[in-house]
Amino acid sequence: MQNYEDILVSGVESGVLTIRLNRPDAYNALRTQLLRELADALDTAAADDQVKAVVLTGSDTVFAAGADIKEMASLDVVGVMNDPRPTFWRRIALFPKPIVAAVNGFALGGGCELMMHCDIVIAGDNAQFGQPEINLGIIPGAGGTQRLIRTIGKSMAMQLVLSGEFISAQQARSFGLVSEVTIPERSLERATQLAKKIATKPPIAVRLAKEALLKAYETTLDSGLNLERKAFTLLAATEDRNEGIAAFMEKRKPNFTGK
């Protein structure tokens, strides 16, 4: 297994790989090295058939406090233009398997944006979400303006991005930014439980479902429906679809093989 400094990567357990952001002295600030390591770990996980789903988490008190402001301070306009970070974000966004986030404490700036790259979010009730970039004279730079407005709507997205205010886990749930709120001690356990359940499902169907759902963010209803129909049709060619239907008819548990 590769050695990382800014993230901790577990072994695969019941199809689930757990990645923990690990910069405790800097509120898990997302320096370039951390994003590179995360993109590398996800690329490795994408190519590993044993990995069916990923859990992404931080510590008990912080998910991530955003881009590393100390690192960012040294970049002039040319430095920002040549910054490799957008390529890491792109690789994270293209990860084809489900990512379930367990978020406790702060998820701010790039931390909130990283959370929005995940497919399902379980939040501890101590979580706080925000896009405070405006206080630094900048704006969200890793998809925040686009993903936030598509997720929580215009007025709330404007409120977060323009005022820099934070919202609580309960508010985030009421806006659809997270799907469940737990006590902080249980968020990782619940995220892992969900990831393990997803890991028992037919992997090709899971992958196509994620692709089709994410397409809804960025396309018209008509072309989204078209993609869904094609994915649905494609699944008729899989062994797992035959197995799923046969198991239902025979009143037994399906044995999915990923074929």
Catalytic residue set: 67, 110, 113, 133
Cα separation, 26 vs 257, whole angstroms? 42
| Residue 58 interacts with ligand CAA (CB under 6 A): yes or no | no
**Of the candidates 9, 17, 21, 29, which one interacts with ligand CAA according to CB under 6 A?**
29
Cross-strand pairs, 168: 128
Cα separation, 116 vs 97, whole angstroms? 15
Query: Considering beta carbons, is residue 70 or 90 the nearer one to ligand CAA?
Result: 70
Query: Considering beta carbons, is residue 68 or 119 the nearer one to ligand CAA?
Result: 68
Q: How far is CA 8 from CA 59, 78, 116, 153, in A?
A: 11, 32, 20, 34
Query: Considering beta carbons, is residue 125 or 228 the nearer one to ligand CAA?
Result: 125
Give DSSP secondary structure letters for 48-97. Answer: -TT--EEEEE--SSEEE--B-HHHHTT--HHHHHT-SHHHHHHHHHT--S
| Residue 63 interacts with ligand CAA (CB under 6 A): yes or no | no
| Residue 105 interacts with ligand CAA (CB under 6 A): yes or no | no
Residues 6 or more apart from 98 whose CB is under 8 A from it?
A: 53, 54, 119, 120, 195, 198, 206, 210
| Residue 204 interacts with ligand CAA (CB under 6 A): yes or no | no
Structure tokens at 214: 């994410």
Structure tokens at 201: 């499902």
* 161-200 footprint of ligand CAA as x/- string (CB under 6 A): ----------------------------------------
| Residue 142 interacts with ligand CAA (CB under 6 A): yes or no | yes
| Residue 240 interacts with ligand CAA (CB under 6 A): yes or no | no
By the criterion CB under 6 A, which residues form the site for ligand CAA? 26-27, 29, 65-70, 106, 108-110, 113, 132-133, 136, 140-142, 144
